[in-house]
Structure 1
């Protein structure tokens, strides 16, 4: 590397077979297909493997490595005699914070669904109802004529019904109010009449539509109708929880049948294949979501110059860490090969943050010898190259499935352990 203050460890080993969505060939295929379906921003962090190898200096060509099926190399800057810097100190106290004494489940619910959020829901829902009634010619029997302004108490009940519908699956909205013996669930009719619930659902809003730009406008924002909810959620996530040292970054897909330019198609997602894609940062130990934001597509002008210079993955990781001010605190970020690059590793190291992740062999700035290692590794089914600014070049022997003992570099075990936070989060919100 160019500076003695940085060290990288590279490993070419196969990952555990239990890594379904964050490693191995499946991970690579998903990341590539998602990127292409998203419109494919021009990412300057990629180059062909032959270009990378050809760009190495003549001195590098003389470097010899004995490449085996499991080669692990610690790389230090050979141009300086300075010792490596001390490790970044993680001094945070992980866990919940600002929690009421003797808190009950409803107290935790109120931390995230605050009075401020319900007030916004009530204000904008009533506003949108007035706008529709005033601008629409209603038929004599229209249900909309029965509209009465909602309140915070009623809006809380409405959200409770929405959440319970996610737990109790039925084929249609009408079936929740069915009196048939095989569909009857009295709780819903005790909360609302079917007509009142449908009216609330019809007018439910977070923003004033009159202040939004239409889709044809040059500064149209496709996330504007729910961005206020994202902002409030991100604020609550960081206010009430301090994460463990290990963090993970990945994508998450929220399924929807709505018509929007935000819709992405991710064929390898099992819970949904069509939906809105969010970039997400999670605590890798307890899978708590720390921050997220919506991907607006390749045509978006957001961070366009930086994406062109450093790549989309670089920009996503830096923005997510900035959301919660997680830099300069000794955190350790784990990510897959869509995000990992040498410039990202260097940048995070310069701001006191570790990085570990799989990396594609055609990334720019990879040394020629690592291209050779990757090409020579023929014995494994899923050849994988990892980069880490934290793990040392050591191996451990651990017992895995069927009580078999296996010896692998520590960085492999760490990556398998801490890379699944977003996938677990997906399972939770899919279940709800």
Structure 2
């Protein structure tokens, strides 16, 4: 190896008045460190001999001028022992009994974070950093004794901060006491139940939400939007628009309900003529082109009534959203226990109000805040997140404002709860219980349990109270902090099961633990929103689309049908209750076999927004920014509509010169598609 290094010829451009000294490649140190760490193929003595040989070759090189390069100093100062093994100094290796290499420590209980900065070799392990011995160049790093490194190791967190009781400051603990007296409870004064006469049939419960007034409003807005698109936007479809009436809208919604029960990959497959894949009765109910045209123009708000600088991002669905929300609030007086949580309407298209929540099964979509009955999952109220900044306090009070001073009990998780919010809700006559993040107003003595949970044994509880607000920390498998204004910190004995698997056999071990009563009530009453999400996902008919307004409208109709089914299960007097599948089947049959006499008008009609002047409309301003003509300049486009006669017969009779179009070959996929359509 040495002979090979001495015979190497250096190019002329590299030689000068001061030849470039040969430096030990750093890659050797990283390779050796990797072998030592992962493979364990080399012993410490072998590595020392190899590094010593590299340094000896360096000194014997004809290009070595007796001085060490600045790169060696950089290695000792800038490169840590975690990246490279620094070069060894010239001379015999020192005995392992006196020196230890920091890069190859055999002490397994020491982490990399606990290592101090390496000290320079050649110094005695008892000397300070300012002293050195030996006249040779210092090029070796990281030699420390095991005792010195153990003494320099940082102390544990408990040793640095002291025990839980030592050094505890009373700052932030003012007003927090250890008084277990139960809080003062607000009496529950509401009378739960329906506010209307109980319907006698399943169709009666459906008509509580899906009213004739709602169907007539959707018919009017859909027909108006079709005129708007064809007259002002000048859009055309391959499907001929034949108008829309109440019967068409009922058939359209009824087919959607059945499509949710029997899903298909594409909605067009329901009209296929294949013997094995066809759905016989669907073409008899509504032609395919009529269904697709109605689905294209399905709308819930007048596009000519959207003002400039519109602050409401949900204005296109606002009338239907408010109508279903008001019906849900008006029809039922909920029971005492309520749960508040957020849900997700799945949507992956381009939308400014779309959110991402990695903890939800559907991670992308429109977030909706729900407040439901804890035991049934009935949606009492909801609020769609529109991207407008609002605090958690405003969100919670916007949903529970109608329950003030009635003694309701609200269950929330730690995303919403805080000490200040619990105090405000208690003053408003609403009790609250749920988990809490201790950084949101908890006393310091309880915050320390979050950082040092080992001070609590399993089944042990610590609590503090401030007025009628309790914060209870219970140690189960992990620390569980709770906040409540309705439960005192009394214990209850529960039986838990521990699952163990040994040699392929599963055994269960039962043991008894003590836990606060608020935890059991929280586990029973928080799942109202989760129950609603579970039921609404069984038969969803909101199909995948780029139009978020249609997706949200159909989701709201699903919500209405789900609330109707929950009321049917709770207040129906039939001995044999219909299942969820059978209830939706009744709804679909009633819409497909629509009889106006069976759908009386029970509520006031939904008001329609009037048209705005051209200078105040948002669509006119948007088209002006894009350089497109205003609706007044495109009035002549009405003559080209399918359902309109030519405005001037003479103009229509003028022959149009034929234009030779270039031949465009069809792709293989287009040919297969045309053949399949011909076979059908």
Same fold (TM > 0.5)? yes
After the TM superposition, which of the residue ranges 90-99 and 187-196 deviates more from structure 2? 90-99
Q: Mind listing any 5+ residue stretches in structure 2 that lack a counterpart?
A: 1-166, 458-475, 498-507, 540-680
Deviation at 1:262, TM superposition (A): 1.1
Q: Which residue of 2 aligns with 1:182?
A: 276
Q: Does 1:93 align with 2:191?
A: yes
The structure 2 residue matched to 1:429, chosen from 536, 561, 573, is: 536
Q: Does 1:333 align with 2:423?
A: no
Q: 1:190 & 1:326 partners in 2: Cα distance?
A: 49
**Rg larger in 1 or in 2?**
2
Q: List, as ranges, runs of 4+ consecutive aligned residues in structure 1 with deviation greater than 6 Å.
A: none
Q: 1:268 to 1:180 in 2, by over 3 A?
A: farther
Q: Which residue of 2 aligns with 1:375?
A: 451
The structure 2 residue matched to 1:225, chosen from 316, 337, 340, is: 316
Q: What is the 5 A alignment of 1:11-26? A: none
Q: What is the 5 A alignment of 1:105-124? A: 105-124=202-221
Deviation at 1:208, TM superposition (A): 0.4
Q: Which residue of 2 aligns with 1:284?
A: 374
| Residues 199 and 205, structure 2, Cα contact 8 Å, conserved in 1 | no
After the TM superposition, which of the residue ranges 199-208 and 163-172 deviates more from structure 2? 163-172
Q: 1:409 & 1:85 partners in 2: Cα distance?
A: 15
| TM-score using structure 2 length | 0.47
Q: What is the 5 A alignment of 1:247-326? A: 247-270=338-361, 272-297=362-387, 300-301=388-389, 303=390, 307=391, 312=392, 314-322=393-401, 325-326=402-403
| Residues 413 and 435, structure 2, Cα contact 8 Å, conserved in 1 | yes
Q: Which residue of 2 aligns with 1:30?
A: none
Q: Which residue of 2 aligns with 1:157?
A: 251
Deviation at 1:133, TM superposition (A): 1.4
Q: Which residue of 1 aligns with 2:661?
A: none
| Residues 246 and 333, structure 1, Cα contact 8 Å, conserved in 2 | yes
Q: 1:180 to 1:383 in 2, by over 3 A?
A: farther
Q: Which residue of 1 aligns with 2:87?
A: none
Q: 1:222 to 1:62 in 2, by over 3 A?
A: closer
Q: Mind listing any 5+ residue stretches in structure 1 that lack a counterpart?
A: 1-53, 66-72, 77-83
The structure 2 residue matched to 1:143, chosen from 211, 234, 238, is: 238
SS in 1 for 2:532: helix
Q: 2:174 & 2:420 partners in 1: Cα distance?
A: 23
Summarize deviations over 1:320-371 as a string: whole Å, max 9, x none.
Answer: 112xx111111000000010011110111111110001111211x3211221
Deviation at 1:280, TM superposition (A): 0.8
Number of matched pairs:
342
SS in 1 for 2:382: strand
| Residues 230 and 293, structure 1, Cα contact 8 Å, conserved in 2 | no
Deviation at 1:160, TM superposition (A): 1.4
| Residues 332 and 355, structure 1, Cα contact 8 Å, conserved in 2 | yes
| TM-score using structure 1 length | 0.73
Q: Report which structure shows greater RCO (CA 8 Å, sep ≥6).
A: 1
Q: 1:230 & 1:267 partners in 2: Cα distance?
A: 26
Q: Does 1:133 align with 2:230?
A: yes
| Residues 56 and 367, structure 1, Cα contact 8 Å, conserved in 2 | no
Q: 1:366 to 1:125 in 2, by over 3 A?
A: same
Q: Which residue of 1 aligns with 2:482?
A: 386
Summarize deviations over 1:199-220 as a string: whole Å, max 9, x none.
Answer: 111000110012224xxx6434
Q: Which residue of 2 aligns with 1:36?
A: none
Q: 1:199 to 1:116 in 2, by over 3 A?
A: same
